[in-house]
Amino acid sequence: MGETRKIALTVNGKRYEEEVEVRVTLADFVRHQLGLTGTHLGCEHGVCGACTILLDGRSARSCLMLAVQAHEHEITTVEGLGSVTDWIALSRYAQPWVAFRFWSMENFTSADVNSWPVENFTPGRSVNV
């Protein structure tokens, strides 16, 4: 095991204090150490959007960040999205296939989806709001 640091962060509203190797990406930390596997690694260059999270409410690519950089920050992963508004905030920055997978989340009902105007959708793209 390499050099480690103790970090404290809030993920999906839950506070964590963990020991982490300084070279571990935030994506790997969230997936392997916290067990939140909704964050994916695709291209590992920040281009595909599969690793998109919200860092203090703003979109970030977790494959391009080290876990130690998230010390004392608030993270929201796909598992922590609880409203249509949160989903839209994340889907604006993700590739269409990533945004599409959120449709199957159990927090959404057909009433949520059916209440959105059809003109807000472009085939093959994420939500246009």
pLDDT of residue 53: 87
pLDDT of residue 42: 83
Locate 71 and state its tokens: 């010390």
| Domains parsed from the chain with CATH numbers | 4-120 (3.10.20.30)
d(CA 39, CA 107): 17
pLDDT of residue 90: 58
pLDDT of residue 128: 39
Residues in contact with 98: Cβ distance below 8 Å, sequence separation at least 6, in sequence order:
40, 48, 49, 50, 52, 91
CB 37 within 8 A of CB 31: yes
pLDDT of residue 72: 97
d(CA 129, CA 49): 19
Per-residue pLDDT of the chain (129 residues; tens, 9 = 90+): 789 999 999 999 999 999 999 999 999 999 999 999 888 888 888 777 788 888 998 888 899 999 999 999 999 888 887 665 666 665 555 554 455 445 434 444 445 445 544 444 444 444 434
d(CA 24, CA 66): 6
pTM across the whole model: 0.66
